Each structure stands twice: as structure tokens, then as C-alpha cells.
Amino acid sequence: MRFRSGNQQPDHRRALQIPGIILTAALLSACSVGQLVVRGSQSILDSGVDSMNRETDLKLAAAAMPANLKLIEGMLLEDPQNDELLLYAAQGFYGYSYGFVELEDPGRAQQLYRRCYDHARVALQLAGLGLDPETAAVDELEAATAKLGKAAVPALFWSASCLGKWIDLNRDDVTSIASLASAATLMMRVLELDDSFYYGGPHLFFGVYYGGRAPMFGGNFALAEEHFRRANEINQGKLLIVDLLQAEYLYRQTLNRTAFHDKLQYILDAPQGLYPEMALVNAISQQRAGYLLALEDEWF
């Protein structure tokens, strides 16, 4: 009779374990240690984003965001095809540029919005869009985006948002203005798939898109009003940036001084704690409302 030592396993059990060892080794070779660490840390980023959205101290937020953005870009060096990180980077650069850079240094903001778009564009490629939105014909882009489903919504949204803001600050460049239709095409697909995505963001985009231009240049004030109304409905009137953009783009364009003034004053008078989940955006909106109100006599 043959006896096995206590730590020895039957041959058939050992045989079953060998494929598992090989599979584990293959997975470890496919993902670097850095990638494994990055992917294991992403839940912390989720909490960090939520915490930042709830921040009410603008100076604290402005000081913290650059380090967080560089952390995300450092993680992307380890895992460059990580779509979640790419979208965090795009969202972060958009928020930082809009909230803390654009009014003081439009040239720098323009560059940051471009970086925002570069990250989002890679995520959009990973989501299945092979065309370059800036060079593709609009009809080709429409056909390509029509094939994308709900999983592509975040990449579509941030690509359109970042590209749109870069164009907004780069109006002297005729070639960049031509890309506005491409940004609208990307966002139209988001509108079709999930109009409430990111707090009704697609409606804010089109409120600005149709409200910020005269009808002879493609504006449509009635349509802009409807998009702002829908965005307010989605957020139950608690997201102040809806009112801010309506005043800045629609009411300024229509020369409706009373509505412009009343909207901005409403934002300034809004109570603290109105929308805790989006406290930072509301605080930025109140700061920006004061800035715009100071321009009332100049604009009207």
C-alpha cells in the first residue's frame, strides 16, 4: 500500500489545478502590476468624484482638482485603454476649465478643453466609433453614431461637451467652427439614447447650441427654451447652471434684459444646500452669475 504525505494531493486534483495556474499566469502577463493596481483603485475614484461634487468651498476645490487630474493621467500611463479613467479625465478637465480657468485665462482654458476632448475621443474609439468626428462628413458620422448603443453614451457625451467648449473658445478658427455640427451629431445620439444623462446634460448642450446663435446662423430660440425647460424638469429646478446658461446664452441673444437679470438674481438668492449632490456646480453657478450680472449694462 502506498501512502501520501499530508500535503500531497491526488493526481486527478493536481491535474485539475494545472489549467487554473496557467490561466492565472496568462492573466498576470496580460495585465501589468501597475494596471492591476490602477483597476483596483477605481472605486476610490468614484468616491472622490462624489466628494468633489459635494464640495461647497470653491477655493478648496480649485486647489484640489489639478492634483487629482494629474493622478488620473498618471494612472492612464499605466492603463491607457481604461475607458473609465479616460472619462474621469475628460469630466475633470471640463469641470476644472469651466469652473476655475475659463473666465480668468480663456487661452489656457482652450488648451485644457482640448485635452479634455483628447481623453474623451479615445474613450469614444474604445466604445466603437472608428471615425474622427472632426474630419468625417456629418452624414457619415450620423450613420456611425446610429450604430452605437447605450454603453457608448458617456463617451459620446463627454466628447461632444469637450469639443463644443473648445470650439466656443476658438471661434476665430473657421475650421474649428465647422466641427460644431459634428459635436451636435454626437450629442444628438446621446439625446436619443438617454436624454437625462449627467443631469440632463444633452438638453443643456442644445439649449446653448440653439439659444446662443441668431436664427440666420442656425439658432432656434423656441427650441432652446424647450431644452432648458426639460433640463430643469429633470433636476426639479435645483441645478442652477440650467438657469445660468439660459440667461447667458438665450436671454442675452434675444436681448431680454429683464429675464437675464431675474434669472441671475434668482441664482444668487438660491439657498445653500439646494442640491447637495451637485453643490460644487451650484456654487460655481452662483459665482459666475455675479460675474455676468456685472456685465448687464455693457451687454444691454
* 59-100 per-position pLDDT tens digit: 999 999 999 999 999 989 989 999 999 999 999 999 999 999
Contacts of 243 (CB under 8 A, 6+ apart): 232, 263, 264, 266, 267, 285
Out of 131, 164, 194, pick the residue that ends a domain. 194
Pair 189, 203 in one domain: no
Pair 188, 63 in one domain: yes
How far apart (Å, rounded) are the C-alpha atoms in residues 143 and 141? 5
Pair 210, 256 in one domain: yes
Residue 119 covered by a domain: yes
Q: How confident is the model at residue 34 (pLDDT cuts 50, 70, 90)?
A: low
In tens, the pLDDT along 135-163 reads: 999 999 999 999 999 999 999 999 999 99
Q: What is the pLDDT of residue 179?
A: 85
Pair 67, 185 in one domain: yes
How far apart (Å, rounded) are the C-alpha atoms in residues 72 and 266? 36
Residue 21 covered by a domain: no
How far apart (Å, rounded) are the C-alpha atoms in residues 214 and 142? 25
Out of 175, 194, 213, pick the residue that ends a domain. 194
Contacts of 202 (CB under 8 A, 6+ apart): 157, 187, 190, 191, 194, 195
Pair 164, 235 in one domain: no
Pair 167, 143 in one domain: yes
Q: How many domains does the chain have?
A: 2
Residue 105 covered by a domain: yes
Residue 34 covered by a domain: no
Residue 279 covered by a domain: yes
How far apart (Å, rounded) are the C-alpha atoms in residues 241 and 2? 79
Domain with 87 in it: what CATH number? Answer: 1.25.40.920
Radius of gyration of the chain (CA): 24
Residue 28 covered by a domain: no
Q: What is the pLDDT of residue 5?
A: 40
Pair 94, 217 in one domain: no
Sign, CA torsion 62/260/217/235: positive
- 217-241: average pLDDT: 97
The answer to whether the CB of 69 falls within 8 A of the CB of 94 is no
Pair 173, 239 in one domain: no
- Confidence check: pLDDT of 21 > 50: no
The residue range of the domain holding 282 is: 195-300
Q: CB count, 10 Å around CB of 143?
A: 12
Pair 102, 157 in one domain: yes
Q: What is the pLDDT of residue 45?
A: 75
Percent of the chain with pLDDT over 90: 79
Out of 148, 169, 194, pick the residue that ends a domain. 194
Pair 204, 187 in one domain: no
The answer to whether the CB of 189 falls within 8 A of the CB of 145 is yes
Q: How confident is the model at residue 48 (pLDDT cuts 50, 70, 90)?
A: confident
Pair 171, 132 in one domain: yes
- 267-286: average pLDDT: 97
Residue 154 covered by a domain: yes
Residue 44 covered by a domain: no
Pair 147, 185 in one domain: yes
How far apart (Å, rounded) are the C-alpha atoms in residues 203 and 237? 14
Nearest CA among 189, 65, 188, 169 for reference residue 127: 189
Q: What is the pLDDT of residue 173?
A: 73
